[in-house]
Structure 1
């Protein structure tokens, strides 16, 4: 496909915006369709956690590219990448999680990840968090966080400067042969290629065009609490919860429901039980215990600022669906909550494949055609000990 190709991108989240920009930068004439506001879907509800602590080579390669690009982008406009170590821990009494953690760290080191195993005392010496309940922890140095909204704002501007045409507010459907996008199921605009990056809605769009994909939505929850927290990002594998620094204090999440909601009829408000549990988790990890003894910020009492729910996309094998589903029709979905984290790398790689610059940019393990699209599978959340 020549570089002046006409390409449609459906979905203006982090992945869609990045892909649209990278296509336009390579000379493609890009139209970006978004039925709501850019970044108004899953990206607006993302935690913004970034790391390269993976045990599989394909994940490491993508994460390396994404982290490097986040750092290059930091300082453009209002976007900033905040260097913050990523701690993943198992609690006392959870020998299974500790064993999985140790195995994961060993596999990460095979790929030269800057990851160390530490005990509770070593963890307390380094970070102002509670550690008296920790059996074993891993610390990934190459990690950080960013504000997804700032990333969206940056790439909206970059897309506009690169000549991307925005079609916001249009409900669209997909045409596959030849590639095209129909607005309100009426007028069809033809393109040389169409990229579907519409999150969990990608399944319906592609299925209606005759190309089912193995994708299920699941609901996850997060909140922001006001408190004085200056520690690392922490994933508690025993409780399956996480927290990270936030300008207001802390962002925390878990609340995953491993069931399939209707992506067009679901509750975006956080559940009361989640809010209570998440505040307890923040209170537990950031206040008292070893945190006060190790010279950190002392006790904190989190006060709820806001809470929400969002939809993530799951696949049968936890790898995303990235690549062609038919001639000229591509998908980028199924991130298990890692879409924002990988967007800088996926956009660049997918643009190369769409324009024919490289067919090796996307790992074969991400090929959406590895599944028939009618598979039955259980939903597994994305933030877990790698290899679980």
Structure 2
């Protein structure tokens, strides 16, 4: 079996390695070097604190994989608690946090609600908590450098026999199936498209619509030291974590569809200034910007990814809503198994949509409420995905 993978980000290279180890011949195509898209612009936050059973299971498998792989090559996973909170006066978010934690614990996640006294006692040295109405902490969490993960996994893929063909944009042919390289079509037994923000256009050019929209998000790093927990202030949609330079934070989301070939890769002044104010409020932190940037995430109508077979022998892995890196080991393994003839993850099947749905883009880092009004899930999209192809 010979498989083509379009996109050499975290999911693409991991799937390529999984397939090659299982005996498939694999060729990876990317317009840039492995990890030069999303992985160079990702926040690297990892946790298993999901309220939905499938999400929790995949995230738990990924956390386990990150820990197991830590120390391989230049990759390191750093255990770090993840605190999420709501401010006084934000009752809806506070109630959603409590409901989310209940469901997370139901699925076996190591998450607990914190009283004001507990929050102060555990994290008062690094977080300002006097205005917090509700808080919780996920213990099975940590952070990593996504670029080093992709480099490490690409090395493993090469060692397993994967061929990397980079430096040139390619197209998709769904009839053969195949990959369009210049004026020719190279045929494969199966093709996996894991091309980030370019995924929608690749399928559209091949005559297959997919329910996917790229959108712009922003992040930065700061040189002022920070050694506290990872934190998501759900009342203002801001996250931050320790970083090798000091601190990494973001989420300057623009909830409009972006052009994957024409978008501003620089962070906006309003985002940098606003994040600085929130860091001062939440962590008494003085922002000293080292680097700031923008990237592209991909959204779907229901916030869940498109993972699996789109048409015969053509597969997709996209629509992560900013959660791609933290679940990359498990989701890549799942789609690789499906390509080899196994069953897919039904709730993530791309065929659940027609492909032409109209839908709004919402921030991946948010507290969701269910259709019945009950709390659904605390989602964090601390990574930004630049398209890879």
Work out whether the TM-score is over 0.5. yes
Counterpart residue number, 2:382:
none
Equivalent of 1:217 in 210, 214, 217: 214
Contact conserved, 1:229 with 1:286, CA < 8 A, in 2?
no
Cα distance, 1:336 vs structure 2: 0.3
SS at match of 2:325: helix
Unaligned regions of 5+ residues in structure 1, if any? Answer: 288-299
Q: 1:232 and 2:229 equivalent? A: yes
Counterpart residue number, 2:352:
370
Matches within 5 A, 1:52-201: 52-127=48-123, 128-184=126-182, 186-201=183-198
Contact conserved, 1:240 with 1:384, CA < 8 A, in 2?
yes
Contact conserved, 1:119 with 1:134, CA < 8 A, in 2?
no
Pairs aligned (count): 368
Counterpart residue number, 2:336:
351
After the TM superposition, which of the residue ranges 196-205 and 300-309 deviates more from structure 2?
300-309
> In the aligned structure 2, how far is the partner of 1:247 from the partner of 1:171?
33
- Which consecutive aligned stretches of 4+ in structure 1 deviate over 4 angstroms post-superposition? none
Give the TM-score normalised by structure 2.
0.93
SS at match of 2:321: coil
Cα distance, 1:27 vs structure 2: 0.6
1:18-38 CA distances to partner (integer Å, 9 max, x unpaired)?
011111111110000001121
1:235-281 CA distances to partner (integer Å, 9 max, x unpaired)?
00100110001011110001101011111100000000101111222
1:126-178 CA distances to partner (integer Å, 9 max, x unpaired)?
11211011111011111111101110110121111111111101211111111
Unaligned regions of 5+ residues in structure 2, if any? Answer: 369-375, 378-389
Give the TM-score normalised by structure 1.
0.93
What is the root-mean-square deviation in Å for CA atoms of aligned residues?
1.0
SS at match of 1:311: strand
Counterpart residue number, 1:297:
none
> In the aligned structure 2, how far is the partner of 1:334 from the partner of 1:135?
32
After the TM superposition, which of the residue ranges 274-283 and 70-79 deviates more from structure 2?
274-283
Contact conserved, 1:314 with 1:381, CA < 8 A, in 2?
no
> In the aligned structure 2, how far is the partner of 1:81 from the partner of 1:263?
30
